[in-house]
Structure 1
Amino acid sequence: MLRWCVRPLERCFGRLGGGGDGLLWHLDLKPHASGDFSIAVVQANSSLEDQAQVLTSPSATYVGVYDGHGGPEASRFVNSHLFPHLHKFASEQGGLSVDVIKKAFNATEEEFLHLVKRSWPTQPQIASVGSCCLVGVITEDTIYVANLGDSRAVLGHRGVGGRPVAERLSSDHNVALEEVRREVAALHPDDSHIVVHTRGVWRIKGIIQVSRSIGDVYLKKPDFSRDPLFQQFVSPVPMKRPVISAEPSILKRKLKPHDLFMIFASDGLWEQLSDDTAVDIVFKNPRAGIAKRLVRAALNEAAKKREIRYSDIKRIEKGTRRHFHDDITVIVIYLNQHHQGMPSPSRSNDSSYDNTSSPVDIFSFNSDDAEEPLHPRK
């Protein structure tokens, strides 16, 4: 069986570097099965709602970015439960597949529902907590990307003339997009107010922008929304059936020689940078610290939009900082073994989930780490 090692990043790598950005934590570079990876996180909310993890094994690399909303409980839960479910179902079915990923997402959703039911009498507001969920799996010659919500995975590859090309690998489930609004409306033909424009943006039932998530139980189970105990914290939502779902969109794609790297990030990055801009930054800069460079580029853009200096925004404290930008989590996965066409000496020939006795580490950044900065800068 796998020797699971779930540890905060500080205990994986020692002290994480502070980048002079106040609430920024980063890992400059670390090897994985077929290349290197880099991580950076910056906190904006009073409690960091982003979670992230990278699992490295000899045969595959697993990446997770979980962007919570309404609180950190759902994203923390996904951070602890989704990868073990992937391992369990992959072991039972002889390897990774689209079906395995769907089962892992569904099991995580069902377990969180059970947690909500258990916590309900003393913590009814937990029914309004949810999380976007972005997962990537890179095997010897294939990538899988599964998504709920509006975190995003973008691949960078070398195009004509050696120029960088951005290829989006995930679907955004956000009603800011007309196609998503049409999708939601088609599922609710008897509800003319399923998506409304309020407070400057489109929202489902005037409440939430994402149409798929883990959690948000009160938008999936009408009984919770109608309960007087819950209505002490959240206004009742008139609905006859679920208005959002936990059904992930899943892409399976063969890796190609010109594929160079993948960027996995919460929407805090993509609110500030386009796919093309992010890929161009990674393409043109050194590997070490590349995730931190992307976060800083996003913070620069956030400062420009508010007509303040970058030096100002990085001094703003958490909580207040949310008025300027969201929590931002970025993981960059380099694919050098693939585009060089060279096998990694540490990889086995089996591209399925490694269920041997080989060591497997999960490098996990969670909001408990963020309560006390790992390497604060004055």
Structure 2
Amino acid sequence: MHTIFLRNSVVCVRQTNCSNVGCGVRQFRITIRQKAQLPNLSPYDVNLILRENEYIQTFSEDDSIVRSYESNQLSSNRPCEDSRTEATFLHKSGFICGVFDGHAGPACSQVISKRLLRYVGAGVLDRRVLKEVMSKDYNSQSFLKCHNDKADFVSEIKTIYENSFREYVQTISRVKKENVANEITNAFMRLDDDLSKEALNHSNMRTMSVAMSGAVAVVAHIDHLDLHVASTGDCGAVLGIQCPETGQWQAKKLNTEHNADNLKEVQRILEEHPNEEHDTAIRNERLLGQLAPLRALGDFRYKWSNEIMDKYVVPTFGEHSVPPHYYTPPYLTAQPEVQHHILRPNDKFLVIASDGLWDFLTPSQVISLVGEHLNSKKVLEPMKLPTGEVTLLEVSKLLAERKAGRARKPLDQNSATHLIRNALGGTDYGIEHSKIAYYLSLPQDVVRLYRDDITITVIYFNTEYITKLNAET
């Protein structure tokens, strides 16, 4: 966000400093003449809004690395430009999920959220199994079982996408499988290439709107002890690690954001273009002075050649659709950076989220909030006595701890909801209702100046199974 003054308007936005833990790095104050007319949301109203899109999925298998996950989404844009997808594999062990943050509309985000995990799922599958599945009449659920999936493509677009996916599967089935990181990277790049071809080869406004919009993505793939996190753009992924001796929580970032704060990323882009463009390739901390993320899927008006722009884009969208100083495209790539982490018993959960969350909370704050939420929920479970002989003093101590823990009982069962509540309403003294109610009642024409769409998925690991697998290695 930037300081913005709207002349001849009732809105004036100024950036202010805020030291509250729950506020994160930045906060904005807004002056509205009709402030008194804003809805006075009650705690009940706030809960209805925060919990509208929450989702919890629990896995009962004892031999599953992932015990459960919790997810939620709070929109700022209408329609929301964020998307999320979570799935388990049908032909191998493992779990995969992603958060996708769209821009210039929701089209690209919605499409890749339903397609990217399929591409990755096929790529990481054993080639023998892949060929067996190909020999059958497979559909969109052939490789993955998606959870919390409530929408599908219209038949016209679905046929185009199915044909692209079938060609991709046939292509990779003829080559030797690479390591997981390379297969994930190939899936990102192939889907992005398919988005381009679909827009150019079909005279369809839907495919072109997907290509002209864009989305950043963070995808987590978990198979046994191997955790891979692939990131394109400025979403975030943070691992929650608990020290066994002290119980303290530690945050470990598993990706780096691709934006102007990443000097290595800025240097990469500058080196790909002539020296004469060093003042224009990145201006005002944005790609060509327009795009904040420096990597993204879609956004082909930063990738297509000048010839393609003149032939396909300008006649439909106008001259203004071509970015200024567009001399030596492509300026943008969808290539992800993939980090590999081997899970240990101290690794308790993973948080992936769009940048709407990180605008308010630091990675350490997020991990502390989820860790405290996890600990406080344990007091709601049936009490289990330690094995062996137990004294009355030990039982009394356990009961006292549970009683003290009930005082810290979380307001939200869903940890993603807990994070959103603290992001919008957190202070040094706890949650301030008036603060979060104010954020949630802002008019649609100004709310985007305050906060972005927020999408969060928290994945909880099966500590017992991780311990068992580590003992076997």
TM-score, normalised relative to structure 2: 0.62
Q: State the AA in 2 paired with 1:299.
A: L
> Are 1:219 and 2:302 an aligned pair?
yes
> Are 1:327 and 2:453 an aligned pair?
yes
> Are 1:38 and 2:51 an aligned pair?
no
1:162 deviates by: 2.5
Matched residue, 2:49: 21
> Are 1:289 and 2:414 an aligned pair?
yes
1:18 deviates by: 8.5
Greater Cα shift, 225-234 or 273-282: 225-234
1:338 deviates by: 5.5
**d(CA) in 1 for partners of 2:189 and 2:265?**
21
Matched residue, 2:5: none
**d(CA) in 1 for partners of 2:464 and 2:186?**
29
> Are 1:135 and 2:167 an aligned pair?
no
1:52 deviates by: 0.3
**d(CA) in 2 for partners of 1:257 and 1:283?**
15
Deviations 1:222-257 (Å, cap 9, x if unpaired)? Answer: 334445323345244322121111111001111112
Aligned positions of 1:227-306 closer than 5 A: 227=311, 228-229=314-315, 230-237=317-324, 238-286=326-374, 288-300=413-425
**d(CA) in 1 for partners of 2:200 and 2:117?**
23
More helix by share: 2
Matched residue, 2:112: 78
Q: State the AA in 1 paired with 2:95.
A: T
Matched residue, 2:261: 176
Return closer, same or farther for 1:253/1:23 CA change in 2, 3 Å cut-off.
Answer: closer
**d(CA) in 2 for partners of 1:174 and 1:120?**
33
More strand by share: 1
> Are 1:107 and 2:190 an aligned pair?
yes
Q: State the AA in 2 paired with 1:193.
A: D
> Are 1:50 and 2:70 an aligned pair?
no
**d(CA) in 2 for partners of 1:22 and 1:153?**
22
CA contact (8 A) 2:56 2:68 kept: no
Matched residue, 1:370: none
Percent sequence identity is: 23
Considering only aligned residues, what root-mean-square deviation do their CA atoms show, in Å? Answer: 2.9
Greater Cα shift, 185-194 or 87-96: 87-96
Q: State the AA in 1 paired with 2:343.
A: L
**d(CA) in 1 for partners of 2:95 and 2:184?**
14
Instruction: Number of aligned residue pairs: give it.
Output: 321
**d(CA) in 1 for partners of 2:332 and 2:282?**
14
Greater Cα shift, 138-147 or 58-67: 58-67
**d(CA) in 1 for partners of 2:50 and 2:349?**
28
1:165 deviates by: 0.6
**d(CA) in 2 for partners of 1:23 and 1:142?**
32
Return closer, same or farther for 1:73/1:119 CA change in 2, 3 Å cut-off.
Answer: farther
Matched residue, 1:192: 278
CA contact (8 A) 1:225 1:231 kept: no
Structure with greater Cα Rg? 2
Q: State the AA in 2 paired with 1:192.
A: H
SS at match of 1:25: coil
Return closer, same or farther for 1:161/1:151 CA change in 2, 3 Å cut-off.
Answer: same
CA contact (8 A) 1:46 1:319 kept: no
Q: State the AA in 2 paired with 1:144.
A: H
Deviations 1:11-51 (Å, cap 9, x if unpaired)? Answer: xxxxxx98333684112453373311100100000211111
1:116 deviates by: 2.1
Q: Which runs of 5+ in 1 are unaligned?
A: 1-16, 303-307, 344-348, 350-378
**d(CA) in 2 for partners of 1:144 and 1:105?**
14
**d(CA) in 2 for partners of 1:241 and 1:260?**
43
Matched residue, 1:3: none
1:324 deviates by: 1.2
1:117 deviates by: 1.6
1:317 deviates by: 4.9
Greater Cα shift, 278-287 or 177-186: 177-186
Greater Cα shift, 329-338 or 257-266: 329-338
**d(CA) in 2 for partners of 1:299 and 1:120?**
43
> Are 1:207 and 2:290 an aligned pair?
yes
> Are 1:313 and 2:313 an aligned pair?
no
1:111 deviates by: 1.5
Q: Which runs of 5+ in 2 are unaligned?
A: 1-44, 129-176, 378-412, 428-433
**d(CA) in 2 for partners of 1:245 and 1:35?**
35
